[in-house]
Structure 1
Amino acid sequence: MRGADVARYGTVAVVWGVSFAVLARVERTFGWVGAVTFRALIAGAVVALVAVMGRRRLHFTAHWWPFAVVGATTVAGQLIGVSYATPRIGSAMAAIFVATIPLFSMVIGHLWGLERMTVRGWVGLSLGIVGIVLLVGFPDAPLTGSFLLGCVGSLVGALSAAFGSNYARARLHDVGSWELTVGSFFFGGVLTLPLLFLVPVAAAPGFADYVYLLLLGGVMSGVMYVLYFRLVAGVGATRALSVEFAVTAVAVVVGSAVLDERLSWVQLLGTAVVVGSCSLVLGLLPGRTPRRPPARERHPEPRQPSEVP
């Protein structure tokens, strides 16, 4: 990679890794619904503002419904899962579950005819399931109902992101990544807004709370997506997606050093298994890369990241 791409890769990895700890701080004040809603709306507004400042014209030519579906899954579904899970299982565990999104995405893409699973892919998927079992079944603390609910929330969020990514690939492949990001964040925030009546803001926010919220939504979601797009353009989607492994490592270190979170040795082994399984699925290890359907059978490649950290 070029120096600029290395800098983008490192910046995205560190900022997205730290974002899980910031999310835990925001969730304590705004609640898990407020953290999702305000984060999504702020991120969409910031990406649109960056586009305007950069004189990039946004063309929303597609129908609103596909944007709503992607917003409901890749944004709302995933962020609800992460926000709900983080205070229950810790920021490190939440980040590890986010790294499983490529596994679910490959399976959905295979079922929809967008991808062809190879032997390496099936082996990677099997290892990923083993890694998840190790993560969930052998925590450092006692196994509680709250912990299990947090794990379920994380898995639902990962599945939502994988579904939305493949849906966007099939239905919005001719839409630019900037338009797709702004539209999906907007609908994600709007769709979760009514949930604030059921799960209101937990406490009266102070100045520092608003700063953390703007940092999470504006910088860690909005601005980082712009850098991620540049990274995809520079090194390709598959290599750019591998940044999630570095994100997981950063989140584990930050969770341990700052939030005093602990993972058992079995869970650390599960983390390594998950990372290895995703490497197999993404074709990042030496050998043959995953086969794709012939050009006449294949939808064009998506131009959006597959998840919203």
Structure 2
Amino acid sequence: MPLASVLRLILLASIWGGSFLFMRLTANSLGPAVLIEGRVLAAALCLLLISLFLRRQLRFTSHIKHYFIIGAFNTALPFLMFAYAAQTLNASTLAILNSTAPLFAALIASLWQKERLKVKAGLGLFIGMVGVTVLVGQQALALGEQGIWAIIACLFAAAMYGFSANYTKVAPAVAPFENAHGSMWAAVIVVLPLLPFMPIRDPITVPISLSVLTLGIVCTGFAYLLYFKLVKDDGPASALSVTFLVPLFGILWGRLFLGEEIGINTLLGALLVITGTILVTGFSFKRLLAKGG
């Protein structure tokens, strides 16, 4: 892999790992709906400005059903679930649970696409689920019912990402940039009706405003562009490797900026989840590095 791609990969993982830090900082003050509406609106406006600069017109009504499916299941609903969980769980746990998405994608593919689950993939699913148990078991006991619901929300969000990954196999052919742009506006519309039911709890301060803008512009809009650039230049395997790096940055940022404790259950759980994901996806770092250096 070219050095430029490696640097983009690390940058993208660090940005997405940081998104859980910003959600942790803002979720309790803003509530899930206001936080995510601000995030997707900022991202949508960012992508709109880029589309105007590139002179790329978004024909939203041409693929409106597709945009709403992606906007709901790949953006709005999982973002809301993670924002809800961020009120209780630490950034490290959020990032690791997010990385279970490929495990759910494989399971859903076996049920929906009738893809036969290989022995290696089945082992990966088992190891990944053991990793989740190791990671959250102690926290579930410590946090009680609220913690259990937060963990379920994260796993539900990861399952929606898994559904979206399978949906893209049968979805209409839409350019990556338009996919990101159109689905973001759809997400804005999906979240909007929830605002009256999840009001803001605390005054909006400058740090909170900056956190939401960073979540939207950097962690969503700019990150999408980085991601699609990576897919275009180096293929899906490179994009997939981000999944294994995001938890590492989630743990790092949580420790550096929030002072989160890194327990043995966090490290062991992350290792098992990442190992399970590698087995399920058949990913090979050796093949990745050998490709197009």
Common fold, TM-score beyond 0.5? yes
What is residue 199 of structure 1 aligned with on the other side? 198
Q: Is the 8 A contact 1:77 1:156 kept in 2?
A: no
Residue 280 (structure 1) aligned with residue 279 (structure 2): yes
| C-alpha distance in structure 1 between counterparts of 2:139 and 2:62, whole Å | 45
Q: Is the 8 A contact 2:140 2:147 kept in 1?
A: no
Residues 207 and 125 of structure 1: is their aligned pair in 2 closer, same or farther, counting only changes over 3 Å?
same
Shift of 1:260: 2.0
Q: Give the secondary-structure state (helix, strand or coil) at the position aligned to 1:152.
A: helix
Shift of 1:140: 9.3
Higher helix share: 2
What is residue 89 of structure 2 aligned with on the other side? 89
Q: Deviations over 1:157-214 (max 9, x none)?
A: 1111211232233123x11111111122111121111111111122221333222211
Shift of 1:52: 2.3
What is residue 108 of structure 1 aligned with on the other side? 108
Q: What amino acid maps onto 2:33 in structure 1?
A: V
Q: Is the 8 A contact 2:27 2:35 kept in 1?
A: yes
Q: What amino acid maps onto 1:160 in structure 2?
A: M
| C-alpha distance in structure 2 between counterparts of 1:63 and 1:234, whole Å | 26
What is residue 14 of structure 1 aligned with on the other side? 14
Q: Deviations over 1:10-37 (max 9, x none)?
A: 1111111122111222223321111111
| C-alpha distance in structure 1 between counterparts of 2:76 and 2:61, whole Å | 23
What is residue 229 of structure 1 aligned with on the other side? 228
Q: What amino acid maps onto 1:166 in structure 2?
A: N
Spell out the pairing of 1:1-309 with structure 2 (5 A cutoff): 1-60=1-60, 62-113=62-113, 115-139=115-139, 142-172=142-172, 174-285=173-284
What is residue 295 of structure 1 aligned with on the other side? none
Residues 208 and 133 of structure 1: is their aligned pair in 2 closer, same or farther, counting only changes over 3 Å?
closer
| C-alpha distance in structure 1 between counterparts of 2:253 and 2:219, whole Å | 15
Shift of 1:110: 2.4
Q: Is the 8 A contact 1:96 1:248 kept in 2?
A: yes
Q: Is the 8 A contact 2:58 2:182 kept in 1?
A: no
Q: Is the 8 A contact 1:58 1:178 kept in 2?
A: no
Shift of 1:125: 0.9
What is residue 300 of structure 1 aligned with on the other side? none
Q: What amino acid maps onto 2:152 in structure 1?
A: V
Shift of 1:3: 1.8
| C-alpha distance in structure 2 between counterparts of 1:228 and 1:78, whole Å | 18
Compute the RMSD of aligned alpha carbons. Answer: 2.2
Shift of 1:51: 2.5
Residues 61 and 267 of structure 1: is their aligned pair in 2 closer, same or farther, counting only changes over 3 Å?
same
Q: Which runs of 5+ in 2 are unaligned?
A: 288-293
| C-alpha distance in structure 2 between counterparts of 1:282 and 1:219, whole Å | 28
| C-alpha distance in structure 2 between counterparts of 1:233 and 1:120, whole Å | 29
Q: What amino acid maps onto 2:182 in structure 1?
A: G
| C-alpha distance in structure 1 between counterparts of 2:25 and 2:184, whole Å | 21
Q: What amino acid maps onto 1:253 in structure 2?
A: L
Shift of 1:272: 0.5
What is residue 291 of structure 2 aligned with on the other side? none
| C-alpha distance in structure 2 between counterparts of 1:58 and 1:137, whole Å | 45
Q: Deviations over 1:289-309 (max 9, x none)?
A: xxxxxxxxxxxxxxxxxxxxx
Q: Higher mean Cα deviation, 206-215 or 274-283?
A: 206-215
Q: Is the 8 A contact 2:58 2:181 kept in 1?
A: no
Q: Is the 8 A contact 1:77 1:161 kept in 2?
A: no
Residues 133 and 215 of structure 1: is their aligned pair in 2 closer, same or farther, counting only changes over 3 Å?
same
| C-alpha distance in structure 2 between counterparts of 1:50 and 1:179, whole Å | 11
| C-alpha distance in structure 2 between counterparts of 1:140 and 1:190, whole Å | 33
Q: What amino acid maps onto 1:111 in structure 2?
A: L
Shift of 1:108: 1.3
Shift of 1:114: 7.0
Q: Is the 8 A contact 1:140 1:263 kept in 2?
A: no
Q: Give the secondary-structure state (helix, strand or coil) at the position aligned to 2:200.
A: coil
Shift of 1:257: 2.4
| C-alpha distance in structure 1 between counterparts of 2:7 and 2:113, whole Å | 35
Identity across aligned pairs (percent)? 31
Q: Deviations over 1:128-161 (max 9, x none)?
A: 1111111221239724111111101101111112
Q: Is the 8 A contact 2:105 2:162 kept in 1?
A: yes
| C-alpha distance in structure 2 between counterparts of 1:35 and 1:114, whole Å | 37
